[in-house]
Amino acid sequence: MSGVTAHPLLHGLDAEQREAVTTMAAPLAIVAAAGSGKTTVLTRRIAYRVAHDTALPQHVLALTFTRDAAAELKRRLRRLDIRDPIEAGTFHSIALRLLRDRALARNQQAPQLAGDRLRLAREVVNELKLGAEPYGALADLDWARARMVAPDRYEGACRVARRRSAVPAARYAEFVAAYERLKRRRGVVDFDDLLGHLLEAMRTDAAWAEGVQWRYRHFFVDEAQDLNPLQHAVLEALRGGRLDLCLVGDPRQAIYGWNGADPTTLAEVETRYPGVTVVQLTSNYRCSPQVVRAGAAALAASGQHDDTQSRQAGAAAVAVRQFANEHEEAEAVARHIRGLMHHRSGRDLAVLARTNDQLGPLQRALTTYGIATERTAGRSPLDVALATAFRCTNREQLAAWVDTVFTEGDEIPRRVAQEADRFLTSAEPGTFRAWVDARTPFDDLEPDDRGDAVALLTFHAAKGREWWGVVITGAEDGLVPHGASSSPAQLAEEARLFYVAITRAAQHLLVTHCAERNRRPGAPSRWLAAVTDSGLADEVVTPPPRPGRSTDAVTPYREWRLAVAKASGQSEQSVCSDRVLRSLAEQPPATTAELAGRLGITETAAARLRPLPDTA
């Protein structure tokens, strides 16, 4: 065995993973499929380079998109026995640290984050009589800033994007100016200000920018497909044109287009970074072959490709079930989860939905069956303690909370209280939230044990997590894809979001849909037939014998649909609705492509369903 493959950091890695860890190529893009060990490869690459002296730990910067992801990177790096700390954090936390250091060096006040930006927006909206909801106004602001759209170009940008603005587009610049004035009067900034202010400092303070670029020399970006133009500009300013850059992510999981994220960052990485080396991780070590095929089918049905191969043994087929309405669906899901909990812990199970509105009936049904649920990704004791501390509106309240916790609190709240006490005794200006964001003092804490609670989350909130068994609910047009998505780019992202939900399941996957939701008729998702058909990859559906003449032209088609449903293990309505069935009988499709289009499936799947009944 060569010295490279014998290195302890390479133990247990496959050939693709070893190449991603050891290659000296720069810049480098690691395109990592779902379940391919992305975080393992990223952390081992950092550790491998440090071990071989091709990266100095004090000059490494690992950028992530969530605080939890940054904490997980730090935990894994510590386990790999890197003696010197590696700087890892979100774009915003790194920006806050740099701006804070710059302010202290210049004897200026450090940036203070606004405690409630919604209240600021409400004041401005009311003052200007804009007739917009504050949430909507902030959404306009975030949309423009993520894409680096200046206020004077906002109206035109909305027209090009066909975006409906909450604030009258012609008055957006007025709203931004008033919002900025209010923040200056209050002496606060908001999160995206941190990125904008960092960019401005890098552009206008050459000496300081050189110091920052000396400090950070080796760049690693996790979930690079989620970069929006503002974040990309920050990365490029920090990088300063140097080649030592490693992007890790998966364009198939690019689901944040609403935040300006651009999947072409990785999908077309050779164009963005000429000379880049691309390493593909194509093995899924999490999901069964059935789940992997279902995810690939969802993408294929929307014109996207996935060549991932499962390295797990076969499991149960992906099940699809239809219910009359959302109440029957919720009841059945609760019974299904209760049955699975006879064999698996609740923490191994999840129920996912496209929107938050769907979660209410599901939670009520699960509660009725005595099943504890986890409604969000963050309900840990640490999150609860931090939320309580952050709600303290002044230092006196925070000091009183600290005293109470020291007297009565449990281990995790006491740890937060100790950090709050350090903040109070430092006399540093700003808020405790800003102190925590700048220092990330709790990254050594292991993820909490969430007990036996079943995760109940939206598709977006489920990203980055995994469970043994998953139920995906509401797989209907209008939800999957969402009714607000109409452009090709939006529909492609909705298919990727469905793919993300599917590939959260390791072994067991149930997908449900309703004939009626909120008293409105619905149709199965246009991608659902392809997902169902993915379980028949090695089978050919045998159509029923050609019937003779019939007084009811639809009857042979009903028999054909029943045969397809039995062969594929799905409901008849999942094959096609009665309306579609009648249209097939009245006007039979002339080609396989036409049949595929009318059923909403791929031509390959449609070819296995032919010939249709002959009613002549």
pLDDT digit string (tens) for 167-216?
999 999 999 999 999 999 988 898 889 999 999 999 999 999 999 999 99
Q: For residue 603, name the pLDDT band (cuts at 50, 70, 90).
A: low
Quote the pLDDT of residue 539. 35
DSSP letters of 104-144? HHTT-PPP-B-S-HHHHHHHHHHHHT----HHHHHHHHHHH
Check residue 390 and give its pLDDT: 84
Check whether 569 has a pLDDT greater than 90: no
**538 has a pLDDT exceeding 70:** no
Enter the tokens of residue 266. Answer: 């990785």
State mean pLDDT over 97-126. Answer: 88
In what side-by-side order are the strands of the sheet with 277-281?
A: 87-90, 60-64, 218-221, 245-249, 28-32, 277-281
Task: Name the most confidently modeled range: 261-270, 493-502, 531-540.
Answer: 493-502
Q: What pLDDT digit, counting tens, does each position of 327-376 carry?
A: 999 999 999 999 999 889 898 999 999 999 999 999 999 999 989 888 64
pLDDT in tens, 39-53: 999 999 999 999 999
DSSP 28: E
d(CA 429, CA 109): 7
Closest Cα to residue 351, out of 372, 370, 368? 372
pLDDT in tens, 437-460: 767 777 666 655 556 789 999 999
> Which of the four CATH numbers 3.30.470.20, 3.40.720.10, 3.40.50.300, 3.40.50.80 does domain 289-377+450-536 have?
3.40.50.300
Say if CB 613 and CB 548 are below 8 A apart.
no
In this prediction, residue 570 has a pLDDT band, given cuts at 50, 70 and 90, of low
How many alpha carbons fall within 13 Å on the CB side of residue 96?
25
Confidence of residue 248 (pLDDT cuts 50, 70, 90): very high
Q: Confidence band (pLDDT; 50, 70, 90) for 253?
A: very high
Q: How confident is the model at residue 602 (pLDDT cuts 50, 70, 90)?
A: low
Cα distance between residue 280 and residue 292, in whole Å: 17
Mean pLDDT of 518-532: 89
Secondary structure (3-state) at 294:
helix
Indicate the class that CATH gives domain 3-103+195-284: alpha beta
Q: Could you report the per-residue pLDDT of 63-85, keeping only the tens digit for each?
A: 998 877 888 888 888 888 777 88
Is residue 504 a contact partner of residue 352, using CB atoms and an 8 Å limit?
Answer: yes
72, 288 contact by CB (below 8 A): no
Centre a 10 Å sphere on the Cβ of residue 356 and count the other Cβ atoms it contains. 13
**pLDDT the model gives residue 181:** 94
Cα 24 from Cα 20, distance rounded (Å):
9
Average pLDDT over residues 594-599: 73
> Within 13 Å, how many C-alpha atoms sit on residue 152's CB side?
0
Instruction: Let me know the angle formed at the C-alpha of 221 by 13 and 245, rounded to the nearest 5 degrees.
Output: 90
Length reported for the chain: 616
Report percent pLDDT > 90 for the chain.
47
Q: Which residue has the higher pLDDT, 413 or 227?
A: 227
pLDDT exceeds 90 at position 317: no
Predicted pLDDT at 448: 56
Backbone angles phi, psi at 49, to 5 degrees: -70, -40
Rounded to the nearest integer, the mean pLDDT of the chain is 85
> Which residue type does 589 have?
P
For residue 447, the model assigns a pLDDT of 59
Residue 545, preceding peptide bond in cis (omega within 30° of 0): no
pLDDT of residue 497: 95
